[in-house]
Chains A and B, each alone.
Chain A
């Protein structure tokens, strides 16, 4: 059943949020989007950190530990994958963005507590990969009957290669954090594609619109994530030469 009035209301709500929050952040940001810093640019990252900071304080004040947030993030990612598999695209997109926020929260909490450690960084990275795996698995189930499945596989491969090239480089003593499409950008493209696809489908009362817009986001992730992995590989090869 389609809900065009609710979709219009939610679109308006998101429009107000973007106008009030994101537009000033982009205008007064301290950095443009670039090949090295990522598509989102410094302004949006600074805005996001400022928004997350009160949450970090509130959670630490009530005694929540960073490890607990990491565990909740994994749970949210699994729920997100489940939502994609059930074709609940708006909920899945929102859970994806929530999981991305929790991913930032645990690291920020550990740093504020002075408890940032190699163990924590390792657990966080492993949890992130399992979380991403659950999300891409859900997307694969959603697109199992069409060519969208190949796009999901290409996007998943690119996403894992972005992480792998950095981890392998660090294993060889080379730090490489450059990249056009890093994890926050992936979350925004796939999550945004899910949210706006679902809203478009309800506004037009045409369910196919949702998958079409989500596939467009996934095509962008597939192309840009693999380009980022190659960008990192090239940078690491140059440093090792």
Chain B
């Protein structure tokens, strides 16, 4: 069983959740922080593969 965390899936989840927070609630900083966290995970996944 793999202990490798699926950064790609988590990254996509956080990017789109952050986008939703900005688009729906207009919480730019909170949503932006989530999107940046997701972007970092996607970058880690890209470096790994």
Q: Which A residues are within 8 Å of any B CB, using their own CB?
A: 1, 3, 6-7, 9-10, 13, 17, 51, 54-55, 57-58, 60-62, 83, 86-91, 93-94, 98, 198-199, 202
Q: Check A54/B21 contact, CB under 8 A, given A1-B26, A10-B16, A94-B16.
A: no
Report Cα–Cα, A61/B3, bound state, in Å.
Answer: 6
Query: Are B20 and A61 in contact, CB atoms less than 8 angstroms apart?
Result: no
Q: Is B1's beta carbon under 8 Å from chain A?
A: yes
**Chain B's nearest CB lies how many Å from the CB of A17?**
7
Query: Are A58 and B2 in contact, CB atoms less than 8 angstroms apart?
Result: yes
Query: Are A58 and B19 in contact, CB atoms less than 8 angstroms apart?
Result: no
Q: Is B33's beta carbon under 8 Å from chain A?
A: no
Report Cα–Cα, A91/B19, bound state, in Å.
Answer: 8
In chain B, positions 1-49 with a C-beta closer than 8 Å to chain A are 1-6, 9, 12-13, 15-17, 19-26
Report Cα–Cα, A10/B35, bound state, in Å.
Answer: 11
| Chain B residues with CB below 8 A from A87, complex form | 24
Which partner residue on chain A sits nearest B13 by CB separation? A98
16 A-B pairs (CB sep. < 8 Å): A10-B23, A13-B15, A13-B16, A54-B4, A54-B6, A57-B1, A57-B2, A57-B3, A60-B1, A90-B23, A91-B17, A91-B20, A91-B21, A94-B17, A98-B13, A198-B23
